[in-house]
Amino acid sequence: MLADLPESRTEPDGSAVVRVLAYNIRSMRDDRVALARVIRACAPDLVCVQEAPRFFRWRKAAAWLARATGLVYVTGGATASGPMVLSSLRAHVERTEDMLLPRTPGLHQRGFATAVVRIGGARLGVLSCHLSMNADERHEQGGLLLDRMHRFTAEGVPHAVAAGDLNDRPEGRTFRRLAAELQDGWATAPWGVEHTTRPGDPLQRIDAVLPTRGVEVLGCGVPRGLRGVTEADLRAATDHLPVLAALRVPALT
Contact 72, 47 (CB under 8 A): no
For residues 58-78, one letter each, b for 16 or more C-beta atoms within 10 angstroms of the residue's C-beta and e for the rest, the string is beebbeebbeebebebbbbbb
**Measured between alpha carbons, how far is residue 31 from residues 130, 134, 215, 237 in Å?**
21, 29, 34, 5
Give the SS3 label for residue 36: helix
Summary mean pLDDT of the chain: 95
Instruction: Name all domains of the chain by residue range, CATH numbers in brackets.
Output: 7-249 (3.60.10.10)
Q: What is the pLDDT of residue 112?
A: 98
Give per-residue pLDDT as tens, 82-141. Answer: 999 999 999 999 999 999 999 999 999 999 999 999 999 999 999 999 999 999 999 999
Distance (Å, rounded) from C-alpha 80 to C-alpha 112? Answer: 6
Spatial separation of the C-alpha atoms in residues 219 and 184, rounded to whole Å: 11
Residue 141's nearest CA partner among 101, 100, 82 is 101
Cβ-count burial 190-206 (b if 16+ within 10 Å, e if not) = ebbbbbbbbeeeeeebb
Q: The pTM is what?
A: 0.96
pLDDT band for position 1 (cuts 50, 70, 90): very low
